[in-house]
Amino acid sequence: MTDTKDTAPARRVTLPTLRRMKRKGERISMITAYDATFARMLDEAGADILLVGDSLGMVVQGQDSTLPVTVDEVIYHCRAVARGTRRAHIVGDMPFMSWQLSPEQALTNAARFLSEGGAHAIKLEGGVDAAATITRIVRAGVPVMGHVGLTPQSVHAMGGFRVQGRTAAAAERVLEDARAVEQAGAYALVLEGIPNDLAARITSALSIPTIGIGAGPSCDGQVLVCYDLLGLTQDLKPRFVKRYAELYELGREAAARYCEEVRSGAFPEEAHGFGDVRREVPVLVEASGGYGPRA
Ligand code: KIV
């Protein structure tokens, strides 16, 4: 029997797909990705959206916030993710201060995510204050995903990574932000770190899909950082994360066995080398796709 998994044409998830999913009540799965290998794995797993988040500053670069991440760095990771996917909709995250300085700066940077990064849309953090910029970017043909509630780029203004919208007045402000982002033309909205009932209220008030992280089960979709979901992060284990595997432990054990076998001489064996070069042409990487671009 032929394995069709790798050859079946994959229909790209698009803005109309996401709108239809909201209408039909089908939940949207979004996961962060930062490189081609992870992107391929998550794409094959069926993620609808891959977000090249500025969370890469923390999980890839080892920074203690997302603030040092640059546009060039996110675009670099976007390119890698784009090469690894066939089906997922790819969103590039606008980093700290990459759109606030002027409309020209916002538009120039947003466009680079599509033209250089291979993304299909951008995400930016902000509500009422970001609305005019969102409209300008959307009118130029770049789809925008909004992000309100706990916005990690405002970590200092918020006094830490704190749940937002807990008082009645604060909840009204988050709702106002969400409405402003929708009216500005965003096609989807991330709701981060807000009470479940507020997320439910926003989700039913908006016609665009909401994608929650630490915002409860009523959102139209959910997003997790891939390193969290796979159990690769060690120091940070936020309450809203569900770890579906413990890959850090698995990886550590595998690497420890490798180190041990190198020391003992158990690796490599004859079969891992090219002792028989007179009988066969040595090929370093089989032509099974290797690490390169996907067909
Ligand atoms: O940067 C990121 O990964 C994000 C998600 C957690 C929503 O913004």
**What mean pLDDT is predicted for residues 116-134?**
98
Assigned domain for 256 exists: no
Hey, which residues are catalytic here?
192
C-alpha 226 – ligand 1 centre gap (Å)? 10
Q: What is the CATH number for 117?
A: 3.20.20.60
Nearest CA to ligand 1 atom 3: 53
Buried (b) or exposed (e) across 177-216, using 16+ Cβ within 10 A?
Answer: bbbbbbebbbbbbbbbbbbeebbbbbbeebebbbbbbbbb
**248-291 tens-digit pLDDT:** 999 999 999 999 999 999 999 999 998 766 666 656 665 555 55
Q: Is the predicted pLDDT of residue 228 greater than 90, yes or no? A: yes
Nearest-CA residue for atom 8 of ligand 1: 53
- How far, in Å, is the centroid of ligand 1 from the Cα of 202? 19
Ligand 1, atom 4, lies closest to the CA of: 53
36-45 and 71-84 helices, crossing angle to 10°: 50
Contact status, residue 193 vs residue 12, Cβ threshold 8 Å = no
CB atoms within 10 A of CB 29: 16
What is the domain range of residue 54? 9-243
pTM over 0.85: yes
**Atom 5 of ligand 1: nearest residue by CA position:** 53
289: CA distance to ligand 1 center in Å?
30
Is 152 a member of any domain? yes
79 pLDDT exceeds 70?
yes
Which residue of 51, 125, 229, 232 sits with most ligand 1 atoms within 8 Å of its CB, as the best mutation to test the pocket?
51
Confirm or reject: Cβ of 213 under 6 Å from ligand 1. yes
Residue 136 falls inside a structural domain:
yes
Is residue 236 situated within a structural domain?
yes
Choice from 93, 145, 226 to test ligand 1 binding pocket (greatest atom count within 8 A of CB)? 93
Q: What is the pLDDT of residue 4?
A: 41
Q: Indicate if ligand 1 lies below 6 Å from the C-beta of 233.
A: no
Inside any domain, residue 44: yes
* pLDDT tens digits, 146-184: 999 999 999 999 999 999 999 999 999 999 999 999 999
| 285 C-beta neighbours (distance < 10 Å), count | 9
Residue 199 has pLDDT above 50, yes or no: yes
Longest CA–CA span in the chain (Å) reads 78
Residue 261, in any domain of the structure: no
For ligand 1, atom 1, the nearest C-alpha belongs to: 53
Q: Are 283 and 274 in contact (CB under 8 A)?
A: no
In a domain, 279, yes or no: no
Atom of ligand 1 nearest to the CA of 32: 3
Structural domain contains residue 33? yes
Q: What is the pLDDT of residue 274?
A: 87
- For the chain, how many structural domains are there in total? 1
